[in-house]
C-alpha cells in the first residue's frame, strides 16, 4: 500500500513527510524532488513568504545510493521563516505571554477550528490550515511522480481561468509555454488580462481565484475499480483534490458542462484500434479518462475551482472569538492569487492518487517486479478474440 502523512505548521521549524509503499530500486534524488518544490513557489500573485523560503526536501531515510530501499521514506522541508517565529511558535513554554489571534477570518478554518478544539486562540488552527502544508504534499507527490514516470505516465497542469478571465488553448498543449508563463497559461492574451486582474485585486486589497487543469497521459486502462464505492478512482480523485486548500469544486473531463447535453453528445465512442496503436481508443475524452470508477486508457483530466483566498489586506467585517464583538478580520501575510501554484500542487495530488492505484493493480516489492507485472498485463488488454486461451493450473492431490 502506497500512503503518506505530513506534519508541521506554517511558521514551525519545518514540514515532515513519511511515504510508505514505494518499491525498492526506484531511482530518487533530492534534486528531483526540489524541481517541483521550486515550481510550487512560483506564479504571479504570490506573497512575500515565497521571497523568504527556498524549499528543498532533505531525504532522511528510505534511500541508499540513489535508490529506494522499499522501506518508509522520510523527508524534511525546513521553514526558513522559523527564525522570525521562535517565540510565537516555541515548542517549549515561554516566559512572556504571546499575543493571541482572536479576530476570525470569514472563509477560513478559524471559527470552526477554534470551537472544535476548544481554543481561545486562532494561531494553532491557522498554522496547520495554512497552504504552507502543501509544500509537503508536493514533496510526496514528486516521489509518486518519479514512480509513475518509470511506466511512461506524465503529468502536467495549466491555468484555465483567473478572476473571470478564461484562457483559450489548442491541442496539443505547449507545456514549455505553460512553464514559462507567470500564470501558467498557454494563451498570451489571457495571460496579460489575468495578471491585470491580479493587480486590480491587490489594489483593492482583496484576492482572486480561478480554475486549473491537470492531465495525466500514458495511464493504462484498468486502474481503480467499479466493485466498491471507495475504490472508484474518480471518487479518490475528488477526495484528494477537495482536500486542497481553497478548492471548492472538482470535475473530470467536461464535468458540469454535460448537464445540459444529450447522452449522444457526452459519451466517448469506442473505435477500432489502428495499426501501431494501443488496443483500445476513444473518439473523444469528454469523460476525463475514467469510466465506471476505472481508467479507460485515455488521459486523466481533472479541473478544480480555487476560491479567492480568505486572508485580505482590506479585511471583511467579522467577530472577535473571545469578546463576541464586531471587528475587522485578522490579516496574516498571504498571496493575492494561488491559482498558478495550485496547478503544480494538483499535479502532485493526481500522482498521489495514481501511484497507489497503479501499485494496487500491479504490486511489486521491487520496481522490476512491478515492471514485469505491468508488461504481462499489457499482453492481456487487447480484444478478447486476439488473446491466447487461458490454461487452467493443475494441482497435485496432496
Q: How far, in Å, CA of 367 to CA of 370, rounded?
A: 5
Q: Which residue has the higher pLDDT, 280 or 243?
A: 243
Q: How far, in Å, CA of 295 to CA of 288, rounded?
A: 9
Q: Where are the domains of the chain?
A: 3-378
Residues ≥6 apart with Cβ < 8 Å to 67 = 24, 25, 26, 27, 28
Confidence band of 394 (pLDDT split at 50, 70, 90)? low
Strand order in the sheet with 14-20: 3-7, 14-20, 73-78, 57-61
DSSP structural state of residue 15: E
Tens digits of residue pLDDT in 145-195: 999 999 999 999 999 999 999 999 999 999 999 999 999 999 999 999 999
What is the mean pLDDT of the segment spanning 329-346?
93
Tens digits of residue pLDDT in 32-74: 999 999 999 999 988 765 666 789 999 999 999 999 999 999 9
The pLDDT score that the predictor gives to residue 392 is: 47
The pLDDT score that the predictor gives to residue 46 is: 83
User: How does 42-81 read in b/e, with b if 16+ C-beta sit within 10 Å?
Assistant: ebbbbbebeeebebbbebeebbeeeebbbebbbbbbbbeb
Tens digits of residue pLDDT in 295-332: 999 999 999 999 999 999 999 999 999 999 999 999 98
For 3-378, CATH gives 3.60.150.10
Handedness of CA 136, 142, 145, 150 (dihedral sign): negative
Question: Whose CA is closest to 14, among 56, 48, 43?
Answer: 56
Amino acid at each position: 500500500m502506497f500512503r503518506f502523512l505530513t506534519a508541521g505548521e506554517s511558521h514551525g521549524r519545518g514540514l515532515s513527510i513519511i511515504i510508505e509503499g514505494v518499491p525498492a530500486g526506484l531511482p530518487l534524488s533530492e534534486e528531483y524532488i526540489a524541481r517541483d518544490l521550486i515550481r510550487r513557489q512560483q506564479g504571479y500573485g504570490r506573497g512575500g513568504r515565497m521571497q523568504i523560503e527556498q524549499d528543498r526536501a532533505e531525504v532522511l531515510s528510505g534511500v541508499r545510493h540513489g535508490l529506494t530501499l522499499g522501506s518508509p521514506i522520510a523527508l524534511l522541508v525546513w521553514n526558513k521563516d522559523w527564525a522570525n517565529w521562535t517565540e510565537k511558535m516555541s515548542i517549549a513554554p515561554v516566559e512572556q505571554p504571546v499575543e493571541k489571534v482572536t479576530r476570525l477570518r470569514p472563509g477560513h478554518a478559524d471559527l470552526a477550528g477554534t470551537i472544535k478544539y476548544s481554543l481561545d486562540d486562532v494561531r494553532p488552527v491557522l498554522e496547520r490550515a495554512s497552504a504552507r502544508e502543501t509544500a509537503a504534499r508536493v514533496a510526496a507527490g514528486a516521489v509518486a511522480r518519479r514512480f509513475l514516470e518509470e511506466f511512461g505516465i506524465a503529468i502536467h497542469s495549466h491555468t484555465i481561468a483567473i478572476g473571470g478571465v478564461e484562457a483559450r488553448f489548442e491541442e496539443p498543449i505547449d507545456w514549455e509555454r505553460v512553464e514559462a508563463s507567470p500564470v501558467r497559461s498557454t494563451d498570451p492574451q489571457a495571460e496579460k488580462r489575468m495578471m491585470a486582474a491580479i493587480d486590480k485585486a491587490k489594489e483593492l486589497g482583496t484576492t482572486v481565484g480561478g480554475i486549473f487543469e491537470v492531465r495525466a497521459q500514458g495511464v493504462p486502462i484498468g486502474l481503480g475499480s467499479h466493485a466498491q464505492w471507495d475504490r472508484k478512482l474518480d471518487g479518490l480523485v475528488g477526495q484528494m483534490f477537495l482536500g486542497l486548500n481553497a478548492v471548492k469544486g472538482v470535475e473530470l473531463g467536461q464535468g458540469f458542462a454535460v448537464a445540459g447535453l444529450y447522452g449522444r453528445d457526452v459519451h466517448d465512442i469506442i473505435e477500432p484500434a489502428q495499426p501501431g496503436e494501443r488496443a483500445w481508443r476513444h473518439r473523444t475524452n469528454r469523460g476525463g479518462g475514467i469510466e465506471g470508477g476505472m481508467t479507460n486508457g485515455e488521459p486523466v483530466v481533472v479541473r478544480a475551482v480555487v476560491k479567492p483566498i480568505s486572508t485580505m489586506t482590506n479585511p471583511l467585517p467579522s467577530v472577535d472569538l473571545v469578546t463576541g464583538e464586531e471587528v475587522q478580520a485578522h490579516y496574516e501575510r498571504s498571496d493575492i492569487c494561488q491559482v498558478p501554484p495550485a496547478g503544480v500542487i494538483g499535479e502532485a495530488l493526481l500522482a498521489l492518487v495514481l501511484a497507489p492505484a497503479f501499485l494496487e493493480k500491479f504490486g511489486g516489492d521491487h520496481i522490476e517486479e512491478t515492471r514485469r507485472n505491468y508488461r504481462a498485463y499489457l499482453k492481456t488488454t487487447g480484444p478478447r478474440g486476439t488473446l491466447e486461451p487461458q490454461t487452467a493450473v493443475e494441482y497435485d492431490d496432496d
